[in-house]
Chains A and B, each alone.
Chain A
């Protein structure tokens, strides 16, 4: 039982490049979330999903897109990366109340 996994762990992009972060969970959770963590800001929600095929915007959705084609996977896409998107990205999944987090992806945009 791996819990929540995130791929990749680290990534460096140039401004304007695109990439996709993958989150996978093997706990059959309905709800999945993408957060970003910036120094002194805590964690802020980017997008979330309440079930397969659904997505919704969070607090800071601009510049990101998501997809939940399969219940176990939640993808976060950056179409045209900007330096302001340099951050640590965390995925979480939840059966309802408690959210369980993945190990994070450290993204640097130059």
Chain B
């Protein structure tokens, strides 16, 4: 069975603090995708990143970085120097490799509040 766990339900930080959102996944597949999506207060779901299971390189995009560790089945997301606009619910998700392999398995999300 596939499962995604985001143990942090809510996190509150002050602007400019760094914050890490944890994601732990379970799968028996050897190849799979991992994703992060952002859901701001306006409600839409914004795609942030996709990682293939065979590519364990960490990625940085501006203030965002992602740490993928297959050995611990984790795909953590760090925001450096957080800003109020980062306030949102962040979802980690897992998908079987291959387009016909159905849906995304979502974690329950972490609500991040960044206070000025």
A26 at the interface (CB under 8 A from B): no
Docked complex: B85-116 residues within 8 A CB-CB of A:
91, 95, 97-100, 102-104, 106-109
Q: Contacts of A50 on B, CB cut-off 8 Å?
A: 99-100
**A42-B91, A100-B47, A104-B44 as given contacts; A58 in contact with B104, CB under 8 Å:** no
> Are A42 and B107 closer than 8 Å at their CB atoms?
yes
Picked from A41, A90, A92, A94, the residue with its CB within 8 Å of the CB of B99 is: A94
CA distance A31 to B101 in the complex (A): 10
Docked complex: A22-43 residues within 8 A CB-CB of B:
30-31, 33, 35, 40-43
The count of A-to-B residue pairs whose CB atoms sit within 8 angstroms is 61
Nearest residue (CB) in B for A100 is B47
Nearest residue (CB) in A for B43 is A104
Query: Can you identify 17 A-B contacts, CB atoms within 8 angstroms?
Result: A30-B99, A31-B100, A35-B103, A42-B109, A43-B91, A44-B106, A48-B102, A50-B100, A56-B102, A59-B103, A92-B45, A97-B33, A97-B99, A98-B47, A98-B50, A99-B35, A103-B44
Interface residue ranges, A against B (CB under 8 Å): 30-31, 33, 35, 40-45, 48, 50, 56, 58-59, 88, 90, 92, 94-104
> Are A45 and B102 closer than 8 Å at their CB atoms?
yes
> Are B43 and A88 closer than 8 Å at their CB atoms?
yes
Q: Contacts of B95 on A, CB cut-off 8 Å?
A: 97, 99
Nearest residue (CB) in A for B50 is A98
Closest Cβ of chain A to B8, distance in Å, is 14
